[in-house]
Structure 1
Amino acid sequence: MGRLDQEGEAQYTSMEEEKAMASNETEIRHRGIRAMPFIIGNEMFEKLGTWGTSGNLVVYFTTVFNIKHVSAAILMNVFNGTTFISPLIGGFLADAYFGRYKTLGFASIASLV
């Protein structure tokens, strides 16, 4: 790469000079996201729990509450639709107001209850 000297003419530098100039600049350290495996595990088990519950919930609606099969299926579709829409709402709340970890913690506790 070249740079301009005081007269406006290009000066060419060697790779060693470029590395020396780059090392003088502020170094950005990427430490990684330590919480990411826990977030992925949490979401994975939450989805497994949701899908495991949905099949049993139809049977529960039809036997205990004596709801017709069509109405039970409609309730399950509403439940699943709410489950799939809630990350969009949570993402908006996390970005706009609360932050990602507070929102994820609250949503995890609410899902557990």
Structure 2
Amino acid sequence: MPAFTEEIFGPAATITVFEDADEAVALVDASEYGLAAAVYTASLSRGLAFSSGIRAGMVHINDQTVNNEFHVPFGGMGASGNGGRFGRPANFHEFTQTQWVSALDKPIYYPF
């Protein structure tokens, strides 16, 4: 069904039956998209373990997928991103290049 395989920006939810957590992660990761995911669970530790297998730029446990905080780098994975992140600290890495310049007032003397 297109609602399961395509990236949808809207109030929509797809429901798919799975046998265990490994199959659920495989279903999530079967999508070429990976902007955000949400996991709802009564066990925070299981949610954290589950989220580590999901290929998405953001995984929210017991919360909505639409979350953005200015100090957290934002971006997706797969077809949902370009491999980069943006947002306060990540901007330095995404939009600049660093260069190391060292300088001494006088050249170092080498005895050879």
TM-score between the two structures when normalised by the length of structure 2: 0.19
More helix by share: 1
Q: Which structure has more strand as a fraction of its residues?
A: 2
